[in-house]
Structure 1
Amino acid sequence: MSRRTGLGPLGRRTRLAALAAVVAATVIALAGCTGIPDTGSVHSQPASSAPDDIDVILLPPGPVPDANQTQILNGFLQAAASPQNDYAVARSFLSKGFDKQWDPNAGVLIDAGQLSFTTVSDTAMSVSVTPQAEVDASGEYVENDSTAAVTIPFQFTQEDGQWRINMANPGIILEQLRFNQVFASHSLYFFDPSYTYLVPDVRWFPKDETTSTRVVKALLAGPTAWLGQGAVVTAFPDGTETTAVVVDSGTASVPLSSQVLSQPTQALQRMQAQLDATLSSVTSVAAVAVTVDQNPVAIPAGATPDFAPRVDSRALVDQAGAFGYLTSNALVPIPSVSDKVQALAPLSVTSSARVLAVGTAEGVYVVQTGDNAPVLIDSRAGLLPPTLDPSGFVWTVPAGAPSAVQAYGSDGTVHPVAVNWDGGTGIVSMDVSRDGTRVLALTVNDGMPRLVVAAVIRDANGAPERLGDPVTLASGPGTPLDATWVDASNIASLTVTAGGDDRVIVQEIGGMSSPLAVPTNGATLAGSNDVTGLWLLTSAGELQQQRGSGWQTTAKSVAFLATQT
């Protein structure tokens, strides 16, 4: 994810400078400008028998006798890529006393790779860093949208004739390559307010012997700020704490404070479900056991919440005057639905197991199975293709009035949804996540595309009431065309540059973004169940999926591609 301050270049530079004041680093350029060494004295070894989530253990050396300040900085930099034993090797480059004060867990600046240093005085140096992303103390990953450099100071002192660092800001700096080796993403899972779905909240933690403990502590601390506005809830009572999670023979023993003992069985089952789903990303964990005061807590098996809602992997399309699921041999209509959809002269369709929302020239209709006739629910001009949530609400918004979002209940009640698009003047697409807790919107700000995700806040009856503060995601340059949910954690966006080049960007919410193969004449996207299942429809009516380094056409003469929720 990326963030904008709204303060312009000066405000952005100031914010990054402030960030540098809470993120530590070190870097050295032997020829004035270099990156973190990938070879040399930093070694690695397989860690198949290591605890938790460690794939590779980096083995940097400590300070050598009579090292100068440059060598001390270089060694500290390399050692910051080794979180084992609470960054013990990195601390060996620090002065006595300061080695215990320095907090490497305060955050990470992920550098673009061009680092430079300046000698400020006999006992001070500074490092210029170009951060492309950052991870805060809670593990939240945020991509930066600025290329401004940040200057980070270091001070040195001599102890017994040896140089040591006696001032460095909290946190560490890593190049992207090192970050990928040292850190891994883990989804913390929280419930939607109905306790039907488990919703992922992606965080990043070091791969070391404390991974399971870090993950559980972050889960108990609660969701990230934008989700914590009311979109998700936790089963753990306030104040629940843990100490050290121990993994033995595949079982993670999670010690919890005594508050959990006063909770009813259903609450305990929900806690177990959150722990099971959250720790499933730790490779060494196959089972989770809860303890209080070293005594096992017996939790009977409960209902399994859905933490990866899936849809039909077949494309749902309108082709040659028929509507249905596309197979390799034919179009398979939906009984008692397809004919009603076609009778409306549809321009777009969003489907769920309960209802279909059909966009037409007249407005948005609701279509159900059985004998019920289609119902026109919104006749406003310029409506985007509608979207659905799992509670059966149909969401609509006009392209030219992005703040005029409405949700229509199954009883016909219209619920205006308060939104804040941070100055968006137009909107190109809007899609509710399959768990109903988040909205993905591709908006237009001052003629530029802005892809955002926002939390869905509902009233006591489950009706959408407002959206939380939007969080900016990565998207390609140029004119925005479409965006879609790929799965519970990933989204995709489609843009076209002024030169006519299409861009499809996939991003994990709370994680990294990456481009897919470049399509030609892309028009719309629709998610399936993973990135390989993503569908793209061209303006020429060709339905495509990415295969290798290109997009392969699977069908032609497709009028539109429906969204499944």
Structure 2
Amino acid sequence: MRRRPALLLAVCLVLAGCASLPTSSAPAPFDVPARDGAGVQFSAEGPADGSDAETLVGDFLLACAAGPQDDYATARLFLTSASARAWQPDTEILVYDTDTAPAISVGAEANSSVDVTVSVLGVASIDASGVLTRVEVGAVSRSFSLVRENGQWRINAPDNLVLMSRAAFTALYSLVNLYFPTTEGTDLVADPRWFPSRRLASHLLAGLVAGPRQSLTAVASNAIPAGTTLPSHGVEVADGVARVELNAVMPASEGAKARLSWELTRTLTQAGDVSQVGVTLSGETLEAHGVPPAPPYSLDTLVGAGPQGVGIVSDSGVRSLSGATDATNPTASPVDSALVAWSGTDGVYAQRGDNTVAFLPGQAPLGPSVDRYGWVWGPASASSVSVGGDSEGAFGVGVEAESAGDIHAVRISPDGVRALIIRGSDASAWVGVVERGAGGRPQAVHSLERITVERAAVIDASWTTSTGVALVLRESGSEEDHLVTMPLGGLPSSVSLPIRVSSMSAGSSSASVVITGVDSGGERQVLVRSGALWQSAPQGLTSARFAG
């Protein structure tokens, strides 16, 4: 009877590899002690004597679940000696759907070699820097070439990539943010990455030293000095304190020291076993004072519109701010609820108190967006968005990828760094970077990346945090709309909605959502989600949106 590897919780298939192995001895399995915050622990055994080709590959897929926690030492036992040294599994991870088991097929043996094919449903790809790219679910096949070594089947020269089930991946890896100061140094920009949960602080520090992804270089800077290198032991954590040693020159100014401390502390304290960070640069202790607090955002301010005008919605009713009776899809600034904006019959209006601060001619049927700098984003074409908020009046902000189609709506993230854009005849969703000048004045939206959804149109979209999005999707022929939420760089979750939606907005989480649409009887509804329940908005409101 064949032996199966001992495995906890999840399964992964690895087709690629990592760092080189020592040559003084053959790789062997070992146990990894768990630290607090290390997450789920996996263990596995090596190949059984006399395994046939199908069994060997199947057991290899199981053994790979322990890969990120034992540096793939057990998985390498399934490879030829030369392949075990050369294999680099951290180059790429292909994530497949957990609901479907890998299909393994074996070809005809010839000259003591055989090819084995593994087929799965692919979901996403993660590169060596931890950046995830979603793909439409579809069949993915990878082939293994097996040869006889010392009378046993072994995998020869596997590709430098790992194929891993979604369950295993999310159990072994953490979605975290690398935080980099904005170019003006007043906030931190989040750069989402996936890193192994084991030794997470060391992975985070290595990511910071490597710097932000290319698309963020226009809006973010790295407080870690150029040319910095890391010690081989990474980050040592004891009693909740991460000891960071950098081979770098100490920044000259107090501001630069503060930004460096801010970047390191905000990033590394995401590790469950880190609550404080101590930093030395080339043996000199970093003493940073005056680390700025992150700007506060009030995303749960709900603004409603109806025959009585525009106002702030609360449990006690609606506090009127404007008597505009033709308003739809109103919103407010994420930092100043006195600044509200809405779509009217002839354009977008913005008002603070009794004063009009912007009028943007044109149509914005899904409503405007107000960013934290006070700029109002309104009507758009295929190549630009009309923006206003100062004495100069409306001006155009260029948006790349004109070929993607006309823009239906623009939503600016709470930190002002990114734009969520709905565009095109297929109503697709895109995320781009907002480049700004003095005073936060928007200049361009670039580096657009499409959000992959499964054959569905995007009805509306919203931010839940500076890196979290919510979308209402409608599949062709379906009678139900769905609310899909996901962090940037993450994987989606979905729930069905009780009405046919025409517009949607989210507050500070996916549990705070407002939708406008019609029910099965054709009755117009404005519903507010509180936790898992949907409740009617105050009577008389015809639409509502959260701030942002």
TM over 0.5: yes
- 1:485 & 1:93 partners in 2: Cα distance? 45
Secondary structure at the counterpart of residue 385 of structure 1: coil
Q: CA 1:459 to 1:195, structure 2 compared with 1: closer, same or farther past 3 Å? A: same
Instruction: Tell me the CA shift for residue 375 of structure 1.
Output: 4.9
- 1:169 & 1:452 partners in 2: Cα distance? 32
What letter matches 1:150 in structure 2? V
Counterpart of 2:157 in structure 1 is 167
Runs of 5+ unmatched residues, structure 1: 1-22, 27-44
- 2:129 & 2:403 partners in 1: Cα distance? 29
- 1:417 & 1:312 partners in 2: Cα distance? 24
Residue of structure 1 aligned with 2:127, choices 118, 124, 136: 136
- 1:419 & 1:534 partners in 2: Cα distance? 28
What letter matches 1:236 in structure 2? I
Aligned length: 505
* 1:75-102 deviation per Cα after TM superposition (whole angstroms, max 9, x unaligned): 3211211122311111222222321211
Instruction: Tell me the CA shift for residue 405 of structure 1.
Output: 1.3
Contact 1:235 1:271 in 2 (8 A): yes
Residue of structure 2 aligned with 1:431, choices 411, 416, 425: 411
Secondary structure at the counterpart of residue 448 of structure 1: coil
Identity of aligned pairs, percent? 24
Question: Within the alignment, does 1:515 sit opposite 2:494 as a pair?
Answer: yes
Question: Within the alignment, does 1:406 sit opposite 2:386 as a pair?
Answer: yes
Deviation larger for 356-365 or 99-108: 356-365
Deviation larger for 235-244 or 449-458: 235-244
* 1:322-372 deviation per Cα after TM superposition (whole angstroms, max 9, x unaligned): 432222232234xxxx1xx22474234231117333321122233123x6x
Question: Within the alignment, does 1:418 sit opposite 2:398 as a pair?
Answer: yes
Deviation larger for 155-164 or 243-252: 155-164
Deviation larger for 404-413 or 184-193: 404-413
Counterpart of 2:298 in structure 1 is 311
Give the number of the structure with larger relative contact order, counting CA–CA contacts within 8 Å between residues 6 or more apart: 1
Secondary structure at the counterpart of residue 70 of structure 2: helix
Report matched runs for 1:317-396 at 5 Å. Answer: 317-319=304-306, 321-333=308-320, 338=321, 341-343=322-324, 345-352=326-333, 353=336, 355-369=339-353, 373-375=355-357, 377-381=359-363, 385-396=367-378
Counterpart of 1:145 in structure 2 is 136
Counterpart of 1:203 in structure 2 is 193
What letter matches 1:138 in structure 2? S
Contact 1:134 1:143 in 2 (8 A): yes
Counterpart of 1:50 in structure 2 is 34
Question: Within the alignment, does 1:238 sit opposite 2:220 as a pair?
Answer: no
Residue of structure 2 aligned with 1:485, choices 439, 451, 463: 463
Contact 2:52 2:153 in 1 (8 A): yes
Contact 1:474 1:507 in 2 (8 A): no
Counterpart of 1:296 in structure 2 is 285
* 1:446-473 deviation per Cα after TM superposition (whole angstroms, max 9, x unaligned): x322111101122466432221121111
Secondary structure at the counterpart of residue 72 of structure 2: helix
Residue of structure 2 aligned with 1:467, choices 439, 442, 445: 445
Secondary structure at the counterpart of residue 470 of structure 1: strand
- 1:381 & 1:58 partners in 2: Cα distance? 55
Residue of structure 2 aligned with 1:452, choices 401, 421, 430: 430
- 2:79 & 2:488 partners in 1: Cα distance? 36
Instruction: Tell me the CA shift for residue 384 of structure 1.
Output: 5.3
Counterpart of 1:266 in structure 2 is 255
Q: CA 1:289 to 1:489, structure 2 compared with 1: closer, same or farther past 3 Å? A: same
Secondary structure at the counterpart of residue 79 of structure 1: helix
* 1:365-390 deviation per Cα after TM superposition (whole angstroms, max 9, x unaligned): 33123x6x325532235665222222
Residue of structure 2 aligned with 1:559, choices 535, 542, 548: 542
Q: CA 1:305 to 1:240, structure 2 compared with 1: closer, same or farther past 3 Å? A: farther
Residue of structure 1 aligned with 2:216, choices 203, 206, 227: 227
Q: CA 1:154 to 1:476, structure 2 compared with 1: closer, same or farther past 3 Å? A: closer
Secondary structure at the counterpart of residue 42 of structure 2: strand
- 2:16 & 2:404 partners in 1: Cα distance? 37
Instruction: Tell me the CA shift for residue 290 of structure 1.
Output: 0.9
- 1:119 & 1:213 partners in 2: Cα distance? 40
Contact 1:128 1:152 in 2 (8 A): yes
CA-atom RMSD, angstroms? Answer: 2.7
Contact 2:376 2:387 in 1 (8 A): yes
What letter matches 1:134 in structure 2? S
Contact 2:382 2:402 in 1 (8 A): no
Instruction: Tell me the CA shift for residue 524 of structure 1.
Output: 1.8
Q: CA 1:381 to 1:490, structure 2 compared with 1: closer, same or farther past 3 Å? A: closer
Contact 1:493 1:506 in 2 (8 A): yes
Question: Within the alignment, does 1:109 sit opposite 2:94 as a pair?
Answer: yes
Instruction: Tell me the CA shift for residue 115 of structure 1.
Output: 2.2
Instruction: Tell me the CA shift for residue 237 of structure 1.
Output: 2.2
Q: CA 1:384 to 1:296, structure 2 compared with 1: closer, same or farther past 3 Å? A: same
- 1:359 & 1:135 partners in 2: Cα distance? 40
Deviation larger for 503-512 or 231-240: 231-240
Contact 1:541 1:557 in 2 (8 A): no
Contact 2:529 2:535 in 1 (8 A): yes
Contact 2:53 2:146 in 1 (8 A): yes
Contact 2:379 2:385 in 1 (8 A): yes
What letter matches 1:66 in structure 2? G
What letter matches 1:255 in structure 2? E
Instruction: Tell me the CA shift for residue 294 of structure 1.
Output: 4.6
Q: CA 1:413 to 1:193, structure 2 compared with 1: closer, same or farther past 3 Å? A: farther
- 1:479 & 1:154 partners in 2: Cα distance? 38
Residue of structure 2 aligned with 1:98, choices 58, 76, 83: 83
- 1:163 & 1:381 partners in 2: Cα distance? 66
- 1:435 & 1:381 partners in 2: Cα distance? 26
